[in-house]
């Protein structure tokens, strides 16, 4: 069964033949260096460069200050808007926008569409002092008339949050020459970025690619003095690299090794870390880095959420599952005797760096487990993911970290990560605290969490979710939401990836009791997420007891 794509992908497509115009759009404050850096980037790429302000002057036949004086700002913004909208459709090069352009709603809309087509909007984040000094040089900026520094600061306050939101790549340039900044932009352009935003979310990026861990200090920013690097022992090699990067950037690093996997996701471990942070004088402006699989990033996020009621944190996921799911979205927490993830908080990271280099040491079975959550995102929204999984099932099942980097599979995996994170970002952006739509990400988890608990967390999370998806597909079929072919498709796809599709190591009564403790349950009412067609899910409330049992019988044979 090959399913049809149902949603447009975001991010730069790999190996797709259609051209995205322009190659990159650069935005930033006056004096950020958009023109200098943009020209360097265009030169490095061998592409033309265009500056919106220069194009406008050509079009209106006069200098911008003169146009402002004669016709006023609103008229200028209209000309600017029309020119930018045209250039976004047909300029094949590096395009830098005027400082105020992204404040125009129609430009924001056009940039969002451009990003959806796979474009990169780069926010050149200059150090304010450096940018103000450059902006004042030479004059000729009507928006800075009067007290130029005070005007610049006021505009920065208004514009920075908007620029953060409309860009999908953020490049800090403090202390860099235009050439160095351009090289940084080039690195960013080679990466895939998923932007997470929303009305209740401080926007952040998930950067996906080889070497993205190098952005660690940029994402942490200048405020922290101390950084706690929380990781497990099996990822020591990667945490060594992170520690070096952090020390080079001038942070005092506390290396905190936690017990591996679910053994690290406990209140006792959290308590040990809180004591250590206290002993080492961690303040509210210090920060946490969580590095490792999903268990490590869940715990690190929980520490960040709770220490002094919340400090900055960055996730560096190193397992496939942590890259595609656990590190993004801000669900942090620990397991308790009562069950999986029952204690925690929604607390958003400042950024996520999914460095695919780290997958080179990932064992095959842990990689495979991550495919469970990848497939979930395909079933619930982006059916193109299912098609890619089908097409590459043999190579994915045979994943070998030692031969992964530089192989054809690397690009396939990067695309699966980007698509899966995009699905997650859409749900999280709309519903951070899981009041409705975010629950769809829990497809297969009601039964999955019960299996994990009954297996004393020795079953891997993604494997339990795979069985949970077959269970809930059976339930949906029994209740007439989907047909038996789609249930069979769950089994054939998941098993072709090396994931389990049945479980018979516990009683129905035990499973049922645990499903009642699931976070989606309300009072005595069981609630599930079920498919009604590929790529589309709905809530199922209080299903008939005999169907809940019969679906269990079907997966435990």
Ligand X SMILES: NC(=O)c1ccc[n+]([C@@H]2O[C@H](COP(=O)([O-])OP(=O)(O)OC[C@H]3O[C@@H](n4cnc5c(N)ncnc54)[C@H](O)[C@@H]3O)[C@@H](O)[C@H]2O)c1
Q: Quick one: what does residue 295 bind among ligand X, ligand LNCXM5UN, none, with the CB cut-off 5 to 8 Å set by partner type?
A: ligand X
* 331 near ligand LNCXM5UN (CB under 6 A): yes
| Residue 295 annotated as binding site | yes
Q: Quick one: what does residue 192 bind among ligand X, ligand LNCXM5UN, none, with the CB cut-off 5 to 8 Å set by partner type?
A: none
* 31 near ligand LNCXM5UN (CB under 6 A): no
For 131, 156, 193, 215, the CA distances from 208, given in Å and listed in that order, are: 29, 29, 6, 11
Q: Interacting stretch for ligand X, rule CB under 6 A, among 6-14, 170-178, 180-188, 314-322?
A: 314-322
* 329 near ligand LNCXM5UN (CB under 6 A): yes
| Residue 535 annotated as binding site | no
| Residue 517 annotated as binding site | no
* 517 near ligand LNCXM5UN (CB under 6 A): no
Question: Of 286 and 325, which has the nearer Cβ to ligand X?
Answer: 325
Residues 355-394 that bind ligand LNCXM5UN (CB under 6 A): 373
Kind of pairing between the strands at 527-533 and 536-541 = antiparallel
Pick the binder of ligand X from 34, 159, 192, 461 (CB under 6 A). Answer: 461
Between CA 471 and CA 482 the distance in angstroms is 13
| Residue 141 annotated as binding site | yes
* 265 near ligand X (CB under 6 A): yes
Q: CA 417: distance to chain centroid? A: 9
Q: Quick one: what does residue 168 bind among ligand LNCXM5UN, ligand X, none, with the CB cut-off 5 to 8 Å set by partner type?
A: none
Between CA 352 and CA 57 the distance in angstroms is 40
Between CA 98 and CA 27 the distance in angstroms is 7
Question: Of 33 and 448, which has the nearer Cβ to ligand X?
Answer: 448
* 372 near ligand X (CB under 6 A): no
Cis peptide before 22 (omega within 30 of 0): yes
- Token pair 């396939």 is found at 412
* 325 near ligand LNCXM5UN (CB under 6 A): yes
Between CA 382 and CA 7 the distance in angstroms is 6
Q: Which runs of consecutive H residues, i.e. helices, occur in 212-293?
A: 216-220, 236-248, 267-279
Residues 520-539 that bind ligand X (CB under 6 A): none
**Residue 255: CB minimum distance to ligand LNCXM5UN, A:** 26
Residue number of the CB closest to ligand LNCXM5UN reads 341
| Residue 39 annotated as binding site | no
Question: Of 96 and 420, which has the nearer Cβ to ligand X?
Answer: 420
Q: CA 516: distance to chain centroid? A: 31
Pick the binder of ligand X from 210, 369, 415, 518 (CB under 6 A). Answer: 369
Q: Quick one: what does residue 442 bind among ligand X, ligand LNCXM5UN, none, with the CB cut-off 5 to 8 Å set by partner type?
A: ligand LNCXM5UN
Does residue 297 contact residue 231 with C-beta atoms inside 8 Å? no
| Residue 42 annotated as binding site | no
| Residue 184 annotated as binding site | no
Does residue 91 contact residue 20 with C-beta atoms inside 8 Å? no
In sequence order, what are the residues at sequence separation of 6 or more whose Cβ sits closer than 8 angstroms to the Cβ of residue 370? 319, 320, 321, 322, 323, 324, 325, 462
- Report the side by side order of strands in the sheet with 252-258: 192-196, 204-209, 351-355, 312-317, 287-292, 226-232, 252-258
**Residue 434: CB minimum distance to ligand LNCXM5UN, A:** 6
Binding mask 435-464 for ligand LNCXM5UN (x = CB under 6 A): ---x--xx--x-------------------
* Nearest C-alpha neighbor of 467 from the set 435, 442, 482, 445: 445
Core vs surface per residue 199-237: b (16+ CB within 10 A) or e: eebebbbbbbbbebbebbbbbbeeebebbbbbbbebbbe
Kind of pairing between the strands at 24-27 and 351-355 = unpaired
**Six token digits for residue 123:** 């926010």
Does residue 84 contact residue 107 with C-beta atoms inside 8 Å? yes
Question: Of 193 and 232, which has the nearer Cβ to ligand X?
Answer: 232
* 170 near ligand LNCXM5UN (CB under 6 A): no
3-state secondary structure of 117: coil
Residues 182-241 that bind ligand X (CB under 6 A): 232, 234-235
List, as residue ranges, the binding site for Zn(2+).
Answer: 373, 445, 461
Q: Which residues bind ligand X (CB under 6 A)?
A: 232, 234-235, 260-262, 265, 292-296, 298, 318-319, 321-322, 325-326, 329, 331, 341, 358-359, 361-362, 366, 369, 460-462
Per the annotation, binding residues for NAD(+) are 260-265, 294-298, 318-319, 331, 340, 358-361
């Amino acid at each position: 069964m090959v399913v049809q794509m149902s949603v447009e992908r975001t991010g730069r497509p790999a190996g797709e033949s259609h051209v995205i115009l322009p190659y990159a759009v650069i935005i930033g404050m006056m004096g950020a260096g958009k023109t200098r850096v943009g020209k360097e980037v265009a030169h490095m790429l061998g592409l033309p460069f265009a500056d919106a302000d220069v194009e406008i002057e050509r079009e209106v036949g006069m200098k911008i200050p003169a146009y402002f004086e004669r016709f006023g700002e609103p008229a200028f913004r209209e000309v600017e808007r029309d020119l930018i909208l045209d250039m976004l459709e047909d300029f094949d090069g590096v395009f830098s926008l005027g400082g105020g352009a992204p404040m125009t709603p129609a430009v924001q809309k056009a940039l969002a569409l451009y990003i959806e087509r796979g474009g990169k909007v780069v926010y050149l984040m200059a150090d304010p002092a450096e940018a103000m000094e450059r902006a004042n040089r030479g004059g000729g900026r009507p928006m800075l008339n009067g007290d130029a520094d005070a005007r610049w600061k006021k505009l920065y306050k208004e514009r920075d949050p908007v620029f953060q939101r409309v860009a999908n790549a953020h490049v800090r340039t403090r202390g860099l020459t235009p050439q160095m900044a351009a090289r940084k932009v080039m690195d960013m352009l080679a990466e895939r970025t998923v932007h997470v935003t929303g009305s209740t979310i401080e926007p952040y990026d998930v950067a996906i690619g080889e070497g993205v861990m190098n952005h660690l200090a940029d994402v942490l920013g200048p405020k922290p003095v101390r950084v706690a690097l929380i990781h497990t022992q099996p990822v020591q090699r990667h945490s060594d690299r992170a520690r070096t990067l952090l020390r080079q950037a001038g942070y005092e690093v506390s290396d905190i090794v936690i017990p591996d996997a679910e053994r690290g996701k406990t209140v006792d471990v959290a308590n040990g870390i809180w004591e250590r942070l206290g002993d080492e004088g961690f303040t509210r402006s210090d920060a946490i880095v969580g590095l490792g699989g999903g268990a490590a990033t869940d715990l690190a996020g929980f520490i960040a959420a709770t220490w002094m009621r919340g400090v900055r944190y960055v996730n560096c996921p190193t397992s496939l599952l942590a890259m595609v799911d656990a590190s993004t979205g801000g669900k942090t927490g620990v397991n308790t005797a009562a069950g999986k993830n029952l204690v925690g908080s929604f607390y958003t990271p400042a950024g996520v760096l999914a460095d695919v280099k780290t997958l080179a040491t990932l064992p095959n079975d842990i990689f495979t487990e991550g495919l469970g959550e990848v497939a979930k995102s395909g079933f619930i929204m982006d059916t193109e993911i299912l098609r890619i999984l089908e097409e590459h099932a043999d190579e994915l099942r045979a994943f070998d970290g030692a031969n992964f980097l530089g192989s054809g599979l690397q690009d396939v995996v990067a695309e699966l990560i980007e698509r899966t994170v995009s699905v997650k970002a859409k749900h999280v952006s709309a519903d951070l605290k899981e009041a409705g739509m975010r629950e769809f990400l829990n497809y297969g988890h009601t039964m999955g969490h019960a299996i994990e608990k009954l297996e004393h967390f020795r079953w891997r999370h993604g494997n339990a979710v795979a069985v949970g998806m077959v269970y809930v597909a059976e339930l949906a079929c029994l209740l007439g939401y989907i047909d038996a072919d789609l249930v069979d498709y769950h089994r054939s796809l998941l098993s072709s990836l090396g994931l389990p599709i049945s479980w018979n190591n516990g009683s129905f009564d035990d499973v049922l009791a645990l499903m009642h403790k699931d976070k989606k349950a309300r009072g005595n009412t069981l609630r599930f997420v079920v498919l009604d067609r590929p790529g589309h899910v709905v809530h199922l409330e209080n299903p008939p007891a005999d169907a809940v049992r019969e679906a269990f019988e079907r997966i435990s044979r």
